């Protein structure tokens, strides 16, 4: 995979997710494009590249939504907590890697399905890590308001919405398949090195 393509695309996707996607929110459920990109990469890239892409995506997600801690004088401090989403996105990419042998590739709906799987697995893994952390490391769970059930419900709704919306960018991503130089995209699409 060409990292010099993936990293700028990831940056743009994250900027769209934090700044523009709330415009498409239904209630408080905002769609996100990062599962579409990560699902797409995990469908075609080599195992190593897909897992590293998951770690990179997770690092940006962790940086985007800090946790809150309370200092001794009662002031709330925003502290980015690296790790939970890094593990979550790696788990999401891994789930797609395991599934991709069963899926019909080069189909827009397949990318949307991969995005759904990626977002669901990543969300569940994030909640699991955040739940474990809340037992000893965080003053309040990283998912913020509502209980874990509510947070899970919202993450699942968001995953479904992201997959549905992902049908549009997935088409565009497929059109650029040759440029990514994926390992498993086949000779028609490029040399397939990494």
Partner 1 sequence: MRVPPAHRLIAGAVLGAALLAALPQSAQAPWSRAVAAVLWIPLWPITAPLSALRDAVRPPQVPYAALPEQLQEALEARDRVQGERDAALLRLREVETELAELTGFRPGRQDGWRPRLASVIARGVGRPAGLFRIDLGASQGVVAGDPVVVGGNRLVGRVAAGGEDARSLVVPLDDARIGRLDAIVAPAPDGAAAARPTVLVQLRAVRDGLLIGELESRDDIRAGDPVLLEDATWPAAARGMRVGTVERVGTLDSNPLRRRIDVRMDVDPARLGRVVVKVSGPGGTP
* Range 70-89, binding partner 1 (CB under 8 A): 70-71, 74-87
What are the distances in angstroms from CA 40 to CA 10, 59, 90, 129, 177? 12, 18, 14, 25, 10
Q: Is 25 in the site for partner 1 (CB under 8 A)?
A: yes
Minimum separation from the CB atom of position 74 to partner 1 (A): 6
* Binding to partner 1, residues 134-173 (CB under 8 A): 136-140, 142-146, 150-151, 154-155, 158
Minimum separation from the CB atom of position 162 to partner 1 (A): 11
Minimum separation from the CB atom of position 118 to partner 1 (A): 12
Q: Is 175 in the site for partner 1 (CB under 8 A)?
A: no
Q: Is 67 in the site for partner 1 (CB under 8 A)?
A: yes
Which member of 40, 53, 58, 121 binds partner 1 (CB under 8 A)?
Answer: 58
Question: Rounded CA gap, 20 and 72, in Å?
Answer: 36
Count residues near partner 1 (CB under 8 A).
71
Which member of 113, 126, 161, 189 binds partner 1 (CB under 8 A)?
Answer: 126
Q: Is 18 in the site for partner 1 (CB under 8 A)?
A: yes
**Nearest CB to partner 1, comparing residues 139 and 178:** 139
- Asked if 118 and 91 count as a contact pair (C-beta separation under 8 A), the reply is no
Q: Is 133 in the site for partner 1 (CB under 8 A)?
A: yes
Q: Is 22 in the site for partner 1 (CB under 8 A)?
A: yes
Minimum separation from the CB atom of position 106 to partner 1 (A): 26
What are the distances in angstroms from CA 139 to CA 69, 105, 129, 133? 6, 44, 15, 9
């Amino acid at each position: 995979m060409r990292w010099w393509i993936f990293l700028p695309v990831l940056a743009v996707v994250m900027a769209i997710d934090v700044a523009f996607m709330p415009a498409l929110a239904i209630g408080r459920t905002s769609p996100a494009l990062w599962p579409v990109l990560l699902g797409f990469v995990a469908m075609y890239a080599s195992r190593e590249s897909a897992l590293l892409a998951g770690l990179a995506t997770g690092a940006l997600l962790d940086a985007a939504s800090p946790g809150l801690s309370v200092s001794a004088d009662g002031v709330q401090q925003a502290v980015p907590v690296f790790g939970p989403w890094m593990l979550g996105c790696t788990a999401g990419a891994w789930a797609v890697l395991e599934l991709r042998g069963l899926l019909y590739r080069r189909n827009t709906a397949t990318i949307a399905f991969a995005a759904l799987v990626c977002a669901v697995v990543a969300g569940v893994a994030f909640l699991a890590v955040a739940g474990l952390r809340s037992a000893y490391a965080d003053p309040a769970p990283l998912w913020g308001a509502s209980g874990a059930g509510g947070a899970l419900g919202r993450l699942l709704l968001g995953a479904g919405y992201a997959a549905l919306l992902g049908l549009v960018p997935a088409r565009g991503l497929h059109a650029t398949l040759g440029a990514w130089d994926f390992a498993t995209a086949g000779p028609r699409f490029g040399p397939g090195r990494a």
